A and B are shown apart, each in its own frame.
Chain A
């Protein structure tokens, strides 16, 4: 758990909440801020004691990741466990060191590899996809069992979201965890080809993975495939196309329940890199261990990239279901954060008054948001949310695959409407035009790229409503013109 913010009431619109949430008085259970206490109810394997209590093996409460500490790591149930143990940004953990940190793992082909046990653990663990859709991983794998076709397993490390670096951090600092998970998933599905898909414009990633592959036994042919680092390249059907030797562009899939294929007789299973890293730990330590973090509905830990108006931007491994305000506090968010972008450029804005929300798919849906692939961007008080949204919309228009008319023409139209509004020109006519364009574009692409933009813009119109009224009336922007804080987050691992 994190430290207490310096002073209460600094979060506009969330002042009362933050006081309650961080009053440090376990008795004050009223108010949404204290609900997380409920997640502390005893359950198998859960660390007992108040949330503030930590082991003190090291000054910052973390356990040093020495080889001898492997068992104690598993038993300690620290506030943050697992994926990033022993990882340092920019340095890849070697295979030998990896085995020291996480312990041995039987891989497909080893005597004693138990696909049934692992699949059972995976199902019981409740692990869901960390690429954004949060689909149960066990179901995705089970759907391929007994398939008559050949299977290609694709490790999706494309990470087309500019505000996300968690897969890059995983692949460059602890690549063997991702590869372990891929090997196990291939064993569970009978995949005879593994493709690790990385963005060609994120250097270091392919090298780290290739270096790691050279250190470990390989029973299934592996490839590292560097694809154009476009926003839509990581879309499932685009990846299926890419491993079939075609351009990485989304396909029209009128029925998404039909299996994904790269060729007639070859099915494709796409898993996000982080999901596979979790799988590697579930295969080692079991479902109960995994469920000792997070909530019942959203078990385990999850990686979140926090950036924007924060002092400590980077990748955090947090319990799934952490309060957003707690996560922001840990990242050293500026005292006055007016809103946060959740889920990335195809996600949604969340107003400061909603910062008490628990970051689970269900709770976030209730406030119209999603964590997506684990993205939080804090918007400073003196930045203009409309201008930021316009900038994102413009970026997303440029990232269209250029295949579907409503996306090709609609996204630039939306961006232009927003530009006008943000500049204080166009007035209510521009707002009406924008709303018309949102209605017309939604649901009319082959993939969900345009829908993401529509969702983001709609949330902006809601969250920045008062602000919008001023813009529409042609008044100057009251939020000043602070330059955008949006940019690629630094490759940093935060604890």
Chain B
């Protein structure tokens, strides 16, 4: 079976900028000057999947999710248009 490539996605309405995700996965997640997460674009390297899952379960607002990378993009990792 082909392994699905995954990427992180933030629901900007749910996110309150707690910042746990950025602590748990500094390789892929930074924070803007107000504390909200800035995700590196693209798929997650397999080596970071465990850390990414920890991000997902640790978010107090359930605002960050792992989604298949081939899903139509919109939101934090993409530019408008």
Contacts and interface: CB of A to CB of B under 8 A. Distances in A.
Contact of A256 (B34, B36, B72, B80): B72
Given A405-B15, A406-B36, A254 B76 contact: no
Nearest to B63: A252
B71 interface: yes
Interface residues of A, number: 24
A443 B9 contact: no
Interface string B1-27: 000000001011111110000000000
A454 interface: yes
Contacts of A403: 12-13
Chain A, interface SS category: loop
Contact of B76 (A253, A444, A448, A451): A444
A405 B36 contact: yes
Given A257-B72, A443-B78, A448-B80, A251 B9 contact: no
Contact of A446 (B12, B35, B71): B12
Contacts of A406: 12, 32, 34, 36
A251 B74 CA distance: 13
A135 interface: no
Contacts of B38: 440
Contacts of A257: 72
A442 interface: yes
Interface residues of B, number: 24
A405 B78 contact: no
Contacts of B79: 442-443
A405 B80 contact: no
Contacts of A252: 11-14, 75
| B contact patch SS | loop
B51 interface: no
A440 B32 contact: yes
Contacts of B15: 404-405
Contact of B36 (A253, A444, A446, A455): A444
A144 to B, nearest CB: 20
Contacts of B32: 406, 410, 440
A256 B74 contact: yes
A445 interface: yes
A232 to B, nearest CB: 12
A233 to B, nearest CB: 16
A113 interface: no
Contacts of A253: 74
B67 interface: yes
Interface in B14-71: 14-17, 32-36, 38, 67, 71
B13 to A, nearest CB: 4
B74 A254 contact: yes
Interface string A235-272: 00000000000000001111111000000000000000
Contacts of A254: 9, 11, 67, 71, 74-75
B17 A442 contact: no
22 contacts: A252-B11, A252-B12, A253-B74, A254-B71, A254-B75, A256-B74, A257-B72, A403-B12, A403-B13, A404-B13, A404-B15, A405-B16, A405-B17, A406-B32, A407-B12, A409-B34, A443-B76, A443-B77, A443-B79, A444-B36, A446-B75, A451-B80
